[in-house]
Chain A
Amino acid sequence: MHFGVGLFNLQTTAHTPRSSAATYRGLVRQAHRLEELGYGSMWLSEHHFFYDGYCPAVLPAAAAALAATRRLRVGTGMLLLPLAEPDAVARSAAELARTSGGRFDLGVGLGYREVEFDGKGIAMSDRLRRSSAALRTLAETAVPAGVRIWNGSATLKGMERAGARAQGVLLSGGNPLSLVRQLAEAHRAGWEAAGRPGGVRPRVAALRNVWLTTDPAERAAVLEYQRASYVLYAGLGWSVKASGDTPAMDFRADIDRAVADAVATTIIGDRHEVVQGLHEVADAGVDDVVFRVMIEGAPEDAVFDMLGRLSDEVLPEFEGEEAA
């Protein structure tokens, strides 16, 4: 099991105001710190035209993080592929892979905000076609240069398609574990139905809300900051569709319930509780975990202190561990 950290959104919010230069420069420092702590990867994410400066251009930001490190993988979780010009993304991704010794992970998603499509001059109804065409361009230009592709869908069909392409998936941190299990199964089934292309099952990575602490005050604070971090998704208009026994999580229709459901995914507690929680994640079919700990407003030193403890006390338990 590999462990990464995310999501680096590079926001400057109403609750935590600061210079956007401080936020963006901080990315480089944080990449250093993750590498020093021994984490395998950091993951950026993308949105557009949002008041808080949410990173709209993840490839130049990834270039900076890669240039600042020697071993750390840097990924996009996700680059919104239908909004991009495919040749430009493919060339830039290939450049990042070449100049970083193959440390670049290109996670791609469809996007869901009407304003982002409209602002890019694109009909949202065209997003699947554009994404499929762009994936073909990436396969021709970026993958041969060493770019690893990840998919960010949250639907069973999207998982099956990614599996059939022998590409990994990175699942959202807000997904309850029941949905994670279904998505991982669909991914595996899609790969098997396609005749196991590549011969090695592509990986399932999942963002999970995780915090190692025995301090009740810190525990309460983490859950409050998690709650606040998910209010963002209400602002962005994000939702998770119902799937099987898993109910919908709609941040537009019922903010309080959706936020509570998302916060309820958090694995929090002492070493024993966190180890057990991560075993349950592995048992749901997850190969790699990306800790969703860059919760907006939480002090950077508190986050990295916790990541240090997590790296020392918990991660050694998972060396050699494989997903169920």
Chain B
Amino acid sequence: MRIGVTLPVGAGADLASEADAVGVFAVHVPGDGGLGAVRAGALAVATTDARIVVDVELGDVLPVTLAEELTVLDGISAGRIVARVRTGALDLEAAREDLALVRTALSGRPIRHHGERWTIPAGLNDGAPDAIMVTPPAVQAEIPIWLDGDAAVALAAETGLPRIARDPAETLASSGMQPAVARLSGDLDADRALVLAWRDAGATHLLVGLPDPLGAEVLRDYVARHLIPEVAMVDFPRLMAESAPPPSWPGA
């Protein structure tokens, strides 16, 4: 199971850079209020290897626009974007339409969409073609979508897309991706048990919120040293993490 981190809003580039440097699978900053895309733009600069989990909220914004933001971010990050698509205040039917439009837009296929919420192209302007295509295309073969929110369970069942789990006792996917979120307490024994419970339940990607107080050393000396190895193999020999490391390299 891979572990990524949710950093607090305003945590700054240094923390994201450190998370990237110590090899977390992904970094994420909450994007409430439609701020996921601009926050992800900053994360793309602060990191080079970690995936960037972007909060995308369905609702007021045209799904074509949401897809454009994602493909731009995928370019800036050289293909490291994962979209956490939240169904927000939409009911299942509305969320189904918006999700379908996001996916068509991301696929690179021509869009001709006639739905209850959106008609794209609108057919309101002389000379406009009968379909549009979102550009630039995503850099990845396909931008991963992780569903979240009230309509996520039903949408995941319909589409086969992963949805984010919050309780290891839930029924989790037994194949493909199974993302999950959890919050660390800062108590090593409890956090080891937490990540192991998720791994053993079948989660593949766990985004963890970090304990307070938060310092950059939490990423290297706690998450990367103890928790990522803990779930990287069966029966991790904890001696590998607990033994004293050699001193810092001279001059480093």
A contact set with B: CB distance below 8 Å: 10, 12, 19-21, 23-25, 27-28, 48-57, 59-64, 66-68, 84-85, 87-88, 91-92, 95-96, 99, 114-115, 117-124
Contact = CB atoms under 8 A, between A and B. Distances in A.
Interface of B: 10, 13, 33-35, 37-42, 44-46, 60-62, 64-65, 68-69, 71-76, 78-79, 111, 118-129, 132-137, 139
Contacts of B121: 115, 118-119, 121
Contact of A21 (B60, B75, B120): B75
A91 B57 CA distance: 14
Nearest to B33: A91
Given A24-B75, A55-B72, A49 B132 contact: yes
B128 A57 contact: no
A79 to B, nearest CB: 12
A48 B68 contact: yes
A85 B75 contact: no
A116 to B, nearest CB: 9
B118 A60 contact: no
Nearest to B32: A91
Contacts of A61: 41, 72, 76
Given A117-B124, A118-B128, A60 B61 contact: no
A123 B64 contact: no
A108 to B, nearest CB: 16
A7 to B, nearest CB: 16
Contact of B41 (A48, A62, A121): A62
A23 B39 CA distance: 20
Contacts of B122: 117-123
A24 B60 contact: no
Given A114-B126, A118-B123, A118-B124, A91 B35 contact: yes
Contacts of A63: 37-42
B122 to A, nearest CB: 4
A57 B69 contact: yes
Nearest to A53: B136
B41 A67 contact: yes
B118 to A, nearest CB: 6
15 contacts: A25-B75, A49-B132, A56-B72, A56-B134, A57-B71, A63-B40, A66-B42, A67-B45, A85-B65, A115-B129, A117-B122, A119-B111, A120-B122, A121-B62, A121-B121
Given A49-B135, A84-B65, A114-B126, 19 more contacts: A12-B136, A20-B139, A28-B76, A50-B135, A53-B75, A57-B71, A57-B72, A60-B69, A62-B38, A85-B61, A87-B60, A118-B124, A118-B128, A119-B121, A120-B64, A120-B122, A121-B120, A121-B121, A123-B125
A163 B10 CA distance: 35
Nearest to A63: B41
Contacts of B71: 56-57
B144 to A, nearest CB: 17
Contacts of B128: 114-115, 117-119
Nearest to A56: B68
B129 to A, nearest CB: 6
B135 A64 contact: no
Contacts of B46: 67
Given A51-B135, A85-B65, A88-B61, A117 B125 contact: yes
A239 B130 CA distance: 24
B80 to A, nearest CB: 10
B139 A95 contact: no
A51 B65 CA distance: 17
A60 B119 contact: no
Contact of A95 (B38, B75, B129, B136): B38
A5 B241 CA distance: 50
A51 to B, nearest CB: 7
A93 to B, nearest CB: 9
Choose among B33, B35, B39, B75 the residue with the greatest number of A CB atoms under 10 Å from its CB.
Answer: B75
Contact of A121 (B10, B44, B74, B119): B119
Nearest to B119: A121
B64 A20 contact: no
Contacts of A20: 75, 136-137, 139
Contacts of A21: 74-75, 78-79, 139
B158 to A, nearest CB: 24
